[in-house]
Structure 1
């Protein structure tokens, strides 16, 4: 039950940026990387920068940049790697999720088209033995970014390389010089994203954004393949723990990307009621679909989410890591509505953002 702490100008496609197969890529599955498959690309973006433009990029371009950065952060990519990712996407697609690219010299693809390089990173999906993924995967910004970062992290000595050289080594484009001019803009956009000036609104790991009182569809927790109890750098909690799942559900209902819980400091499940009181959010003894069920028993307490209220007034809760073997697993359970110490109602988005300032 613990809640561990853890840490523009959009030029058209640059034809010189044609990614080729990268031998350093050895894609794995499961763990923190495998969990990323549950995250979809962002659909909207909020920009607090003047004019809604950063380094000449705006709207969907900035939304895509936010997805690239957040995907890298979920994979624990350091800042210099995030810069390489943003810079490469700028050079390849001007931060646009393109459904077209360079043809492959007249070779007909499996879908009958001549276009092989697609998406933010212009990853070639159609060549035999391609390591980038399917057509659908290379045109999903989050999945394309994850594939790029996995390749980068497996490139020996990339940290000591200039950003343009590192991007060139991963992509296999004709020359590092094709990326060089994008480095200053990439630094500016990366700084804006990490400072919170660019925020992806719906989609992404928020699974499309649910209304308050509307929970997701079963076990849609995006890190269900992650190592149990390892620190989740996105939420500042611990993977596959009750608190991480409940915090995910909270942000999901608000239509937000998952964010750190550290500013509210909910900590272990037992302390969540105090966090709700400090924030001025409602605590009730009356169950409500979508509310957090809050327990204070035991060393750490426990939190879960009200999934359903039956016709006879029973509460069906869902959560993670209740202690029913195996630990760290998703569960649903019917409870007596008087069993929790209280029900923590989900705040409005305005209340949440005000408390998180």
Structure 2
């Protein structure tokens, strides 16, 4: 497997990775089982190759996408898994069954040997024990896709992970960001090859594993394995920072997948209240479950999320990157409700889309 986005773009050699995180989310009133069942593809959905161009893909690429989806259906992979299968092949090979890999750029395995990545998923066929299959297997789109899906199924908690994170855990590429930009196109292609019968989006069934309008439970931040303080290309904030977690929780509660914060421009935590004021959203001194807890003191300030309001009026906040020095980890803490500068109430989805998307 190779990293990054293009069929001919070299990346760092992939290794077989042990799953490092399990993300757990609350899926709304129907429960996790009901939500995931709603995402499961129907066994009688016909897969076909659409004509023309879909999200920049055509011909052989769409034929390969159809093969990937059919391979997943044969294994009873739910819809969000099919999305991950298509998205990953886009990132690894541009949905082309290429007969070369990173070795042409001199990329090596940890033991110094050249990599041997081939095919749709850039799976290494020469590894001891052939965990990804033989050379013929990785060059067979149906077999390569089936091998990918089986590895995905072995990944504990994959249905609760963001699709790029799940792909990263299976493929072992350098970063989930190598797949992120392909999520929208993968949705379009998945819908096209199933004639609109399978849809994975920000309403109803979602690729991130939560239903619209739901709130998370505990540390469900999808990038907890990312490098602390590195740029998050989706949110335009910093991984494992208080702002990134709060923005993630905000969009999650609105039933949206994570989006860029650039348009709203909340900035450092101490200026989030200013952004709320510019947008005309409510700032209050009264805590409310789900609201952003806003501290405007210090050089950068701090933001968290109201997790619970106890019977004595104290507030349990949840967040990331609290402490001296900030550690990039999840925490919960009981606070006096009068301590924060204010509580930033969530806008409606329509208000958010107008001001921030």
Change (3 A) 1:340 1:89: same
Equivalent of residue 156 in structure 1, options 85, 92, 102: 102
Q: C-alpha distance in 2, partners of 1:206/1:174?
A: 30
With the length of structure 1 as denominator, give the TM-score of the two structures: 0.56
* 2:202 is the alignment partner of 1:200: yes
Conserved? CA contact 1:321–1:330, under 8 Å: yes
Q: Which moved more, 1:138-147 or 1:334-343?
A: 138-147
Conserved? CA contact 1:237–1:243, under 8 Å: yes
Change (3 A) 1:241 1:221: same
Report the alpha carbon displacement of residue 29 of structure 1 after superposing the two structures with TM. Answer: 4.6
Q: C-alpha distance in 1, partners of 2:245/2:233?
A: 14
Matches within 5 A, 1:1-357: 26-29=15-18, 56=50, 88-93=64-69, 97-98=72-73, 100=74, 119=77, 140-141=81-82, 144=85, 148=89, 155-156=101-102, 166-167=119-120, 170=123, 172-174=138-140, 190=185, 199-201=201-203, 202-205=205-208, 207-211=210-214, 215-324=215-324, 327-357=327-357
Q: C-alpha distance in 1, partners of 2:24/2:92?
A: 20
Task: Give the match's secondary structure for 1:312.
Answer: coil
Q: C-alpha distance in 1, partners of 2:24/2:82?
A: 13
Task: Give the match's secondary structure for 1:273.
Answer: helix
Aligned length: 247
Change (3 A) 1:337 1:38: closer
Task: Give the match's secondary structure for 2:303.
Answer: strand
Change (3 A) 1:168 1:152: closer
Conserved? CA contact 1:37–1:143, under 8 Å: no
Deviations along 1:231-259, whole A, 9 cap, x unmatched? 11111111110001000110111111111
Report the alpha carbon displacement of residue 218 of structure 1 after superposing the two structures with TM. Answer: 0.8
Change (3 A) 1:85 1:351: farther
Change (3 A) 1:208 1:157: farther
Report the alpha carbon displacement of residue 86 of structure 1 after superposing the two structures with TM. Answer: 6.9
Task: Give the match's secondary structure for 2:102.
Answer: coil
Q: Structure 2 unaligned runs (5+)?
A: 1-12, 26-31, 40-48, 95-99, 106-117, 124-136, 143-181, 190-199
Q: C-alpha distance in 2, partners of 1:320/1:301?
A: 13
Deviations along 1:107-152, whole A, 9 cap, x unmatched? xxxxxxxxxx6649xxxxxxxxxxxxxxxxx982355457657865
Report the alpha carbon displacement of residue 168 of structure 1 after superposing the two structures with TM. Answer: 8.0
Conserved? CA contact 1:206–1:256, under 8 Å: no
**Residue aligning to 1:73:** none
Conserved? CA contact 2:69–2:85, under 8 Å: no
Report the alpha carbon displacement of residue 56 of structure 1 after superposing the two structures with TM. Answer: 4.7
Conserved? CA contact 1:321–1:327, under 8 Å: yes
Q: C-alpha distance in 1, partners of 2:186/2:276?
A: 31
Q: C-alpha distance in 1, partners of 2:212/2:238?
A: 22
Change (3 A) 1:356 1:144: same
Conserved? CA contact 2:293–2:304, under 8 Å: yes
Q: Structure 1 unaligned runs (5+)?
A: 1-23, 45-54, 66-78, 101-116, 121-137, 160-164, 177-186
Conserved? CA contact 2:89–2:121, under 8 Å: no
Conserved? CA contact 1:314–1:336, under 8 Å: yes
Report the alpha carbon displacement of residue 275 of structure 1 after superposing the two structures with TM. Answer: 1.0
Q: C-alpha distance in 1, partners of 2:260/2:61?
A: 22
Change (3 A) 1:84 1:346: farther
Higher relative contact order (CA 8 A, sep 6+): 1
Task: Give the match's secondary structure for 2:250.
Answer: helix
Change (3 A) 1:149 1:338: same
